[in-house]
Amino acid sequence: MRTLLLSLAFAFVLSMPIAHAQRDLTNDYIAVRALFPNYQYQIDKDWNWDDFTSGFEFEYGRHLSGPLSLAFPLKIGQVKYPNDASGNSLTQGGLFNLDALLHLRPLKSNVFFSPNLFAGIGANYEDLRDLNFALPLGIGLDFKLGGGVYLSTKGEYRIGFTDLRDNIQLGAGLKFFLGGVDDTAKSKDTDKDGIVDTEDQCPTVPGTAKAMGCPDTDDDGITDAKDACPTEAGTAATNGCPDTDNDGIINSKDQCPTEAGTAANNGCPDTDNDGIINSKDQCPTEAGPASNNGCPIRDADGDGVIDANDECPNAAGPASTKGCPDRDSDGIADKNDACPDVKGSLANRGCPDTDGDGIIDSADKCPNQPGPASNNGCPEIAQKDRETLTFAARNVQFETGSAVLKNTSNTILDQVVDILKRYSDYNVRVSGHTDNVGSDELNLKLSKARAKACTDYLVSKGIPANRIVFDGFGESRPVANNATPQGRTQNRRTEFELYQK
């Protein structure tokens, strides 16, 4: 299957230059296809057509931007589900899939062959009982029949989140672009700039509407042919060249392009006329010698910052804080620094914010990981990670009547380890629960032992023990009715709850 997908992807790449010669299709679409799923392929590894079953697929596609679209296929059918690795044990059951797919497609008109690649996430509801998830990956091949109608085929490999649920699915049917496809050229546009030749003053060279179809690279309303600075926006008064400060000296010849000055000073201002331009004059409104950087020589505290510019003329400080003391050398004067002995930032009034989330370290429960103030500076737990922890509570399994973890539990516990490593400033609470079968005392003891077994596994994978607390609650906290097998199954669980330190 991987070889097939690579071959189809290669064909997709070869088709791109052809497709890009045409106009984009930006219509939404609907599609109806016959569906042929095969859950035995992962075991047989061959094309045994008897393993394929049938069903139907209904898909709605929404164009996003350029070559991207979002699709939602709903699939209904019958499937032979494998129950063991040999493939000898099968269950005939219903197939219900709902996927969310991102498509990469040319979406061009007047193209007979239009391929697309897709990937996404899918939910599988087996026989309206068991819910599991998969990652669908595949390629679609569309063949134009006419107007906005295409013969639509697809092949996908679905990677199951549950054992023995990898499968392949093939489909074929019709795709209808809503509103059809307009292939009629309304008017000739030789340079393809969106301006018809009859209104284009430069019909053979792409241009802009503002310049009547002629090129205007800097979009300043002056065509490149008449623009002395075609890549920089300017005005007609300066032949298309920029003069940001409007001093009559274009930026390329102005040493101070954002401040109005004189030609004698190469466009720079010298307010006090002491022969030192303002940008190099520490006292631009008071004449002074160049030896004192343009300032009158007055410096009462001897810190090298003249009194005229010294906000603390009687207390020595660096020029970076306008002559005021700065004990922690963070560029914020002590008088304005809420943390004068610890380096910080101006945005935090001189206090440190290690993770840069806008919450100073002293008030941040997760100082090494950015998070919102509403969560005490800790990162929000992603919905996907919350779902993984919920999934773990139901799926961590033990040997019957004991606290020995089954090997099948390692995969989900490794996912919990990954979450804890990514949320390094969070702790985790491990809680063991049982159903009501057996005595209260034995159930309480078993639940505590199972919580400890999970804790020991997490520690063995590098999670510090001081980040974990665990306990068992026996049958005292059911989440379902213990009177039914299904309820007892839900009550036998090990929960993982992240909380801030």
Residue type, 500: Q
Does the pLDDT of residue 54 top 90, yes or no? yes
Provide the edge-to-edge strand list for the sheet that holds 493-500.
468-472, 426-433, 493-500
Distances (CA, A) of 45 to 25, 183, 237: 38, 45, 75
Q: pLDDT of 303-356, one tens digit each?
A: 888 878 888 988 888 988 888 988 878 788 878 877 888 887 777 777 887 878
| 224 or 37, greater pLDDT | 37
Residue 276 lies in a domain: no
Other beta carbons less than 10 A from residue 236's beta carbon = 11
Does the pLDDT of residue 227 top 80, yes or no? no
Residue 163 lies in a domain: yes
**In 3D, which of 9, 3, 5, 1 has the Cα closest to residue 116?**
9
Q: Report how far residue 155's alpha carbon sits from residue 388's, in angstroms, rounded to the nearest whole number.
A: 29
Residue type, 334: D
| 267 or 170, greater pLDDT | 170
DSSP secondary structure string for all residues of 203-239:
TTS---TTTTTS--TT-SSS-GGG-SSTTS---GGGT
Tokens of 51: 């393993």
User: Taking the model in full, what pTM does it have?
Assistant: 0.37
Domain boundary, last residue among 177, 199, 223: 177
The whole-number pLDDT of residue 187 equals 57
The whole-number pLDDT of residue 23 equals 36
Residue 275 lies in a domain: no
CATH number for the domain harbouring residue 143:
2.40.160.20
Question: In the structure, what pLDDT confidence band is assigned to residue 179 with cuts at 50, 70 and 90?
Answer: low
Residue 438 lies in a domain: yes
Residue 59 lies in a domain: yes
Report angle CA 269, 272, 278 to the nearest 5 degrees.
Answer: 40
**In 3D, which of 261, 289, 259 has the Cα closest to residue 276?**
289
How far is the first Cα of the chain from the last one, in angstroms, to the nearest whole number?
47
Residue 57 lies in a domain: yes
Question: In the structure, what pLDDT confidence band is assigned to residue 498 with cuts at 50, 70 and 90?
Answer: very high
Question: In the structure, what pLDDT confidence band is assigned to residue 134 with cuts at 50, 70 and 90?
Answer: very high
> Residue 39: which domain range?
2-177
**In 3D, which of 24, 22, 194 has the Cα closest to residue 110?**
22
The whole-number pLDDT of residue 375 equals 86
Contact residues for 337 (Cβ-Cβ < 8 A; gap 6+): 326, 328, 330, 344, 349, 350
**In 3D, which of 386, 385, 383, 356 has the Cα closest to residue 371?**
356
**In 3D, which of 166, 160, 154 has the Cα closest to residue 38?**
166
| 49 or 144, greater pLDDT | 144
Tokens of 34: 């016959």
Task: List 35's β-bridge partners, or say none.
Answer: 55, 171
The whole-number pLDDT of residue 34 equals 96
Does the pLDDT of residue 232 top 70, yes or no? yes
The whole-number pLDDT of residue 22 equals 36
Question: In the structure, what pLDDT confidence band is assigned to residue 230 with cuts at 50, 70 and 90?
Answer: confident
The whole-number pLDDT of residue 84 equals 80
Q: pLDDT of 15-52, one tens digit each?
A: 443 333 333 355 789 999 999 999 887 777 677 788 88
Residue 112 lies in a domain: yes
* CB 114, CB 106: distance < 8 Å: yes
The whole-number pLDDT of residue 306 equals 86
SS3 labels along 405-473: ECCCHHHHHHHHHHHHHHCCCEEEEEEEECCCCCCHHHHHHHHHHHHHHHHHHHHHCCCCHHHEEEEEC
The rounded mean pLDDT for the chain is 84
Per the listing, tokens 């059809």 go with 180
In which element (H, E) is residue 8 found?
helix 2-19
Domain boundary, last residue among 142, 177, 212: 177
Residue 312 lies in a domain: no
* CB 454, CB 436: distance < 8 Å: no
The whole-number pLDDT of residue 171 equals 96
Using DSSP's 3-state secondary structure scheme, residue 316 falls into coil
Question: Which percentage of the chain shows pLDDT scores above 90?
Answer: 39
CATH number for the domain harbouring residue 393:
3.30.1330.60
Does the pLDDT of residue 188 top 70, yes or no? yes
| Counted domains in the chain | 2
Question: In the structure, what pLDDT confidence band is assigned to residue 108 with cuts at 50, 70 and 90?
Answer: low
Distances (CA, A) of 106 to 141, 153, 385: 11, 16, 34
Domain boundary, last residue among 155, 177, 199: 177
Q: Report how far residue 125's alpha carbon sits from residue 100's, in angstroms, rounded to the nearest whole number.
A: 15
Question: In the structure, what pLDDT confidence band is assigned to residue 432 with cuts at 50, 70 and 90?
Answer: very high
Q: How large is the average pLDDT for residues 66-79? A: 92
Q: What is the largest CA-CA distance in the chain?
A: 99
The whole-number pLDDT of residue 1 equals 46
Does the pLDDT of residue 218 top 80, yes or no? no
Q: How large is the average pLDDT for residues 212-229? A: 82
